[in-house]
Structures are given as C-alpha cells and as structure tokens.
Amino acid sequence: MSSLIEPYVSTEINFDRRWIEQIILQLVDAFEIRVVWDTEAKILTGAFALAGVVVGGYAGGRMGAALGAGVGGAAGLGVSAIVSLREIWETVKEKLSELTYIVFNYLRRLDPVDYIHAANVLMACMSSKRELVMTILDFVAHKLGREVLSSITAA
C-alpha cells in the first residue's frame, strides 16, 4: 500500500446530515448570511399604490392620484425584509438539500478519509471558510432566486 492518500471511492455516501447542517448554520452565523425575504412586498406595493391613487385622486385630482400612487408604491416596496438564513432554515431546508452534499464534498477535499477532522481544519482556516461561504452564497441565491447578503459581500 502506498503512502499517498487514496480518494474515497465508496458508492454509498454515509454521513450525518444533521452534523453537516450544524456546520452550515455555524457558517451562517459566523458570516452573517442573510436573505432578502420579500414574499409579501409585491402584494403590499400594489395595495399601497392603489390606496395612494384613491386617496390622492379624492384629495387632489389627477396630480394627487399620480403622487399618491408613487408614494404608496414606494411605501409598499420598502416592506421587504432581510432575515438571517438561520431564521428561515426550516422553511427553505428542502429547497437547499443539495447544500449538505456541497459541504460534504468540500470537507472531503480537505481530508478524504475523515470528514470530522476536515471540519476541524475548515473551522480553523479562514481562507477555507471564505471559499466555502462564497460557494454557499452563490448556491442559495441561485436556488431561492433571491438576493443573499453576508459580511463577506459587504466588505
């Protein structure tokens, strides 16, 4: 047997998903990963714009209606919320199920034999964490179709 590290060649992937999920949530907390969560903003924008038209039209004619629609629409658009991925994790976990495989495969790159040791290496190495978090940010934004923010993207 050679002294080189042999790659993991098992056909079945056997790992603890809850443990990988905890790693994901630790990274979410460490890098303040947040999602623009605006499920009701579209409805509220329309409702506020309509209310602005009615009130503006009643109080000031056409100009008031146009101004009311603009102000009402802007008020509705400002309702979108930025929430932590941890807060909405239970809601979006099924959509992001491939994320556990992404993290597991990343850990296998660090240590092909022992993924628990690889997780310790990951948490100790800032550049490895940043690389994985950037991958997580891209994946979450793509899968959820929403803007994703973090302390990395703000810097």
Answer with the one of 27, 60, 79 that is the final residue of a domain: 79
The reply to whether 34 and 52 lie within a common domain is: no
The reply to whether 96 and 135 lie within a common domain is: yes
**pTM of this prediction?**
0.65
Confidence at 17, pLDDT banded by 50, 70, 90: confident
106: CB partners within 8 A, 6+ apart: 122, 132, 135
Q: Which residue has the higher pLDDT, 38 or 67?
A: 38
Which residues span the domain enclosing 27?
Answer: 17-38+81-154
* 90 lies in some domain: yes
* 12 lies in some domain: no
pLDDT at 50 over 70: no
Tell me what pLDDT residue 146 has: 87
Confidence at 22, pLDDT banded by 50, 70, 90: very high
Tell me what pLDDT residue 152 has: 85
CA dist list (Å): 38 to 4, 35, 45, 86:
50, 9, 11, 16
The total number of structural domains in the chain stands at 2
pLDDT at 1 over 50: no
The reply to whether 49 and 34 lie within a common domain is: no
pLDDT at 111 over 80: yes
The reply to whether 24 and 53 lie within a common domain is: no
The reply to whether 69 and 137 lie within a common domain is: no
The reply to whether 95 and 125 lie within a common domain is: yes
The reply to whether 74 and 85 lie within a common domain is: no
* 150 lies in some domain: yes
Average the pLDDT over each of 40-49, 94-103, 127-136 and give the range with the smallest value: 40-49
Mean pLDDT of the chain: 77
User: Which one, of 38, 37, 41, 75, lies nearest residue 55 by Cα?
Assistant: 75
- For the beta carbon of residue 61, count every other beta carbon within 10 angstroms: 10
